[in-house]
Amino acid sequence: MAGIEEVARLAGVSTATVSRALSGRGHVSPASKAKVEEAAARLGYVVSSNASSLASGRTRNVGVVIPFLNRWYFSSVLEGAQQALLRRGYDLTLYNLSGDGQERASVFEHFLLRQRVDAVLAVSLELTESEVRRLHDLGKPLVGVGGPIPGVHTLTIDDVAVARLATEHLLALGHRRIAHIGGDLEFDLDFHLPTSRRLGYEAALGDAGIEVEPRYFAPADFTVRGGYHAAKQLLGAPHGRPTAIFAASDEMAMGTILAARDLGLDVPRDLSVVGIDDHDLSDFFGLTTVAQFPRGQGEHAVALLMDELEPGRGVPEPDDIALPFELRVRSSTATPPQD
């Protein structure tokens, strides 16, 4: 197999330039980088990860801890992070913490503390002080997505404001009987997302002078199926049926649209529906939603990690960074039906 010296001779550059060009660390002109990559391809040269780790003390591997993998939001954040890491020459090791508390303890007390990863990205996990301290004591940079973590760079979305925006859209259309499908207690764990979105919904109603009615709330599990069954409960009453439903996720909103149609209701003539996420299928359903750009969240988180792993790449950012969101109006919302 060809060595780095042969690649350097063929490309007409130094071995140091070859190392920088193929590792992605350090400055190399575009012309020199292209020459090195062409020479490496012709010779079949591949950088040895073991040699690179020994020389730099780095594994060029980032650990990502995530609570769910079968939810669109989480897989989208992961996709954005993975693509950003690949562009920078890093691998990704995934830890899916969908099991019990012992599984999480094992990951933080053993797996992440071994010399297997250079840094850690925590998605929608409210890390404890001891978990953060363990990683920092070993010099492993840490970035969080989903909510504030003391002493850690985090990307945070204001879930109260997001829910308020979705509800205010329905209020602006003239709706007064607005129901909410939120998360059940199983999902009200890290950063209390379901509670925050319910609070935003209730605050918007309160500001509009509308009393919050318990019968207009139904819990679900952030899936299409869960949203479908919750909507059936809300829409089953013959009198006082809501004219609009705000679902705490697009998948539950899609389930709501399917339930309404099965009950013979037209969306949006009989029922308006709004969700949160801007899921890939939202446009197909004509779903009005609040976009929160999860792939961009993953990319931004990796950029923060790179700033810590390779200082001097950019301007330092504050610890708690607010994430953008925006209302996207489609065909699932309209003025309420006339009683």
Summarised one tens digit per residue, pLDDT across range 27-43 is 788 888 888 888 888 88
Q: Are 24 and 73 in the same domain? A: no
Is-above-0.85 flag for pTM?
no
Strands 272-277 and 288-291: parallel
> Domain count of the chain?
3
CA distances from 285 to 233, 279, 314 (A): 21, 10, 40
Query: Is 77 part of any domain?
Result: yes
Q: Are 151 and 249 in the same domain? A: no
Q: Are 150 and 298 in the same domain? A: yes
Query: Is 329 part of any domain?
Result: no
State the pLDDT at residue 51: 47
Q: Are 169 and 271 in the same domain? A: yes
pLDDT digit string, tens, across residues 57-72: 567 899 998 888 888 9
Q: Are 165 and 43 in the same domain? A: no
Residues near 289 by beta carbon (within 8 Å), at least 6 away in sequence: 166, 250, 253, 274, 275, 276, 277, 278, 279, 282, 327, 328, 330
**Domain limits at 65?**
59-157+294-322
Given a cut of 60, whether residue 129 has pLDDT beyond it is yes
Say if residues 143 and 151 touch (Cβ distance below 8 Å).
Answer: no
Q: Which residues pair with 132 in a beta bridge?
A: none
Query: Is 331 part of any domain?
Result: no
Query: Is 138 part of any domain?
Result: yes
Query: Is 311 part of any domain?
Result: yes
